[in-house]
Amino acid sequence: MKLRPKHDRRRYDARARIAKALAHPSRLMILDALDRREICVCDLAQLVGADQSTVSKHLAILKQAGLVEDRKDGVMVYYTLKACCLQGFWDCLEAVLAQNLKAQQAVLR
Amino acid sequence: MKLRPKHDRRRYDARARIAKALAHPSRLMILDALDRREICVCDLAQLVGADQSTVSKHLAILKQAGLVEDRKDGVMVYYTLKACCLQGFWDCLEAVLAQNLKAQQAVLR
DNA sequence: CACATTAATGGCGGAATGGCCATACAGGCA
DNA sequence: TGCCTGTATGGCCATTCCGCCATTAATGTG
C-alpha cells in the first residue's frame, strides 16, 4: 500500500472546491440564513436581492459542493443546510476580520 | 445609534473577501505548510510547484486578507501564519469531503 | 384544456482570476 | 562599482466567474 504524500495536490484541489463554493457573499448569506430554517428559492432570491436565476445558480453551486440539500414540494423547492460544520468557519472569518480591524486601528494610532 | 441589520450585505462582502483568499488549492497548501513553521518564498514556490512570481502573488493575496505575515531577513522574505483560527476551517472542509464521499458510496450501492 | 407560478437552464457580455514571462527592485558580496 | 540571488510587479493571455435576460420544465389551478 502506498502512503499518501503529505502535500497531495489532489487533496488540496478537493478542499479548494469546497472553499470556492464558500467564496461569494450571496452564498455566505444563503448559508447563514439556511442555518436557522429551510427556505424556498423565491424567498432566498428576495433575501439576497438578486434575480431568481442567479440565486438558483448559486444554490446549484452549494448543492454540488455538498453544502445544502433540496426538497421539492409541489412547485416550490426548499433548501436546507447539509453541512453541520460551518460554525467553525464563521468563527474563523470573524476572528480574522476582528484581527484585521484591530491592526488597522493600530496603524492609525 | 443605528442597529446593524442582521443581513448586512457589507458584512458578507467582508467575510467573502477572506473566504476568497482561502479558495485556491495552492493557497490552501501554503497555509497548511505555514502552520508548522515560517517558510521563505523560494521554498514555498518549490512546495507548490509554480513560478516564483505566481507564488508571490498568492502570498500577497493571503497577506492582504490578513492570513499571513512576512518578515524580511536580508534578501529573503519569510512568511508566517497570522490567522490562528484555521483549524476549524480545515475540519469543516474535511467533514464536508467525508460526507460527500459517503453519499457517493451510498449511490453506488 | 389554458394559464399562472416556481425553479432550472442556456446564452451572452463584462469582470475577475490565475498562469507565466519579462522586468524592476532590493540586499549581499567581491 | 558590478554581479548574483531572492522577491515583487507589470503585462499579457486564457479561463473562469457572475450578473441578467430569455426560455424551458414542472406543478398547481380554474
Please indicate, yes or no, if residue A67 is contained in any of the structural domains: yes
Specify whether the CB–CB gap between B62 and B26 falls below 8 A.
no
pLDDT of B35-64, one tens digit each? 999 999 999 999 999 999 999 999 999 999
Please indicate, yes or no, if residue A100 is contained in any of the structural domains: no
Which residues 6+ apart lie within 8 Å of B70 measured at CB? B59, B63, B77, B78, B79, B80
A58 by DSSP, 3-state: which?
helix
**B23 CB-to-strand D distance under 7 Å:** no
User: Distance, in angstroms, between A41 CA and closest chain B CA?
Assistant: 17
Residue-level pLDDT at A6? 55
- Residue of B20, B89, B97 lying closest to A92 (CB–CB): B89
pLDDT of A54-107, one tens digit each? 999 999 999 999 999 999 999 999 999 999 899 999 999 999 999 999 999 998
The number of domains in chain A is 1
Which residues 6+ apart lie within 8 Å of A89 measured at CB? A22, B88, B89, B92
Q: What is the CATH number of the domain that holds A68?
A: 1.10.10.10
pLDDT above 70: residue A5: no
pTM score, two decimals?
0.93
Residues belonging to chain B: 109
Residue nearest to nucleotide C16 (CA to C1'): B20
pLDDT of B11-39, one tens digit each? 999 999 999 999 999 999 999 999 999 99
Q: Does B56 touch chain A (CB under 8 A)?
A: no
**B42 CB-to-strand D distance under 7 Å:** yes
Rounded to whole angstroms, how far apart are CA atoms B53 and B34?
A: 18
Strands (E) across chain B are located at: 39-40, 68-73, 76-81
Domain that holds residue A34: 9-83
